[in-house]
């Protein structure tokens, strides 16, 4: 199995690369892809950049160039539910793009025109494999909908709205578009997010983002070893 790992920021991938052997690098569409092995498993890792377009570019290039068998998006997110706080973990069983809105045409908010879907499902086997690793590590976690949009979620009113409208447990800026690309290419995907902020997002984010990203890497390393 060849596993694709996509992070939004450099801090999310650097520590993973430290555990990779026999690495080679290639730049495609401005994205640096690092190929190698982790515990004998083939891995391709890349930093997409922040936002839906960068994430989609990265995912499409990874799938078409490296023919990965699955894509896992790691990173940080803001909590949208009471059950998750700083350093906890959200695992997506489905993703939604909350800023897709053609409701003026009578469509539900979040509808992906052309797919006629609001929610895109993550791969059940990947989700369960990651969940087992998280549970074994004793990390508080929740499986549910992760909402994606080109917006840093700092307003409580926006967070409440996303939870009420979509049942979302966490919000971020890349996972939904990576899921979209994987869905149309028929590639299994999973989204793993460490919670980096609670109340007062602007203040807490800088404090906890690095630590939360490290939690995600540790989970992914254990997951790779479990399937290698």
203 pLDDT above the threshold of 50: no
Q: Which of 23, 27, 31 is nearest to 48 (CA)?
A: 31
Max Cα–Cα distance, the chain, nearest Å: 53
- Is residue 152 very low, low, confident or very high in pLDDT (cuts 50, 70, 90)? confident
Residue 207 has what pLDDT?
66
pLDDT above 90: residue 15? no
Rounded-to-integer distance, Cα 113 and Cα 111, Å: 6
Q: Is the pLDDT of residue 206 over 70?
A: no
Strand ranges for the chain from DSSP E? 2-7, 21-28, 31-38, 41-47, 70-79, 89-97, 120-121, 141-148, 168-172, 189-197
Reduced to 3 states, what is the DSSP secondary structure of residue 28? strand
Q: What's the pLDDT score for residue 64?
A: 98
Provide, rounded to the nearest whole percent, the portion of the chain with pLDDT above 70.
Answer: 95
Is 197 considered catalytic here? yes
User: Between 10 and 29, where is the model more confident?
Assistant: 29
Instruction: Give 214 or 140, the one with higher predicted confidence.
Output: 140
- Give the contacts of 62 (CB within 8 A, at least 6 positions apart): 4, 6, 33, 44, 46, 68, 71
Question: Could you tell me if 191 and 184 are in contact, meaning their C-beta atoms sit under 8 angstroms apart?
Answer: no
Ranges of each domain in the chain: 2-227
Q: Which two tokens stand for residue 16?
A: 């993973």
To the nearest 10°, report the CA torsion of 215, 135, 228, 184: -80
Rounded mean pLDDT, 91-112? 95
For residue 11, give both structure tokens. 């801090």
pLDDT of amino acid 73: 97
Give the whole-angstrom CA distance, residue 63 versus residue 179: 12
pLDDT of residue 200: 42
Q: How confident is the model over 179-193, as pLDDT tens digits?
A: 999 999 999 999 999
**What average pLDDT does range 133-157 have in this prediction?**
92
- Is residue 157 pLDDT above 80, yes or no? yes
Tokens for 202?
């602007």
Query: Which residue of the set 42, 99, 197, 204 is catalytic?
Result: 197
Q: Domain 2-227, CATH 3.20.20.150 — does that match?
A: no
Measuring CA to CA, which residue among 124, 110, 228 is closest to residue 168? 110
For residue 200, the SS3 value is coil
């Amino acid at each position: 199995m060849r596993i694709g790992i996509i992070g939004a920021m450099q801090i999310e991938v650097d520590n993973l690369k430290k555990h990779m052997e026999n690495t080679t690098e290639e730049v495609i569409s401005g994205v640096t892809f690092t190929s190698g092995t982790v515990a004998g498993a083939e891995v391709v890792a890349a930093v997409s950049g922040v936002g839906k377009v960068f994430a989609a570019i990265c995912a499409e290039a990874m799938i078409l160039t490296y023919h990965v068998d699955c894509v896992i998006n790691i990173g940080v997110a803001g909590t949208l539910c009471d059950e998750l706080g700083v350093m906890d973990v959200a695992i997506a069983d489905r993703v939604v793009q909350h800023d897709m809105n053609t409701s003026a045409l009578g469509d539900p908010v979040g509808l992906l025109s052309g797919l006629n879907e609001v929610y895109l499902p993550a791969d059940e086997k990947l989700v369960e494999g990651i969940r087992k690793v998280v549970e074994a590590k004793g990390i508080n976690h929740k499986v549910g909908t992760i909402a994606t949009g080109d917006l840093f979620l700092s307003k409580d009113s926006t967070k409440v709205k996303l939870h009420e409208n979509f049942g979302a447990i966490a919000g971020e800026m890349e996972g939904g578009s990576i899921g979209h690309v994987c869905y149309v290419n028929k590639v299994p995907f999973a989204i793993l997010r460490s919670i980096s902020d609670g109340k007062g997002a602007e203040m807490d984010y800088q404090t906890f983002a690095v630590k939360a990203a490290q939690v995600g890497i540790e989970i992914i390393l254990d997951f790779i070893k479990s399937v290698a």
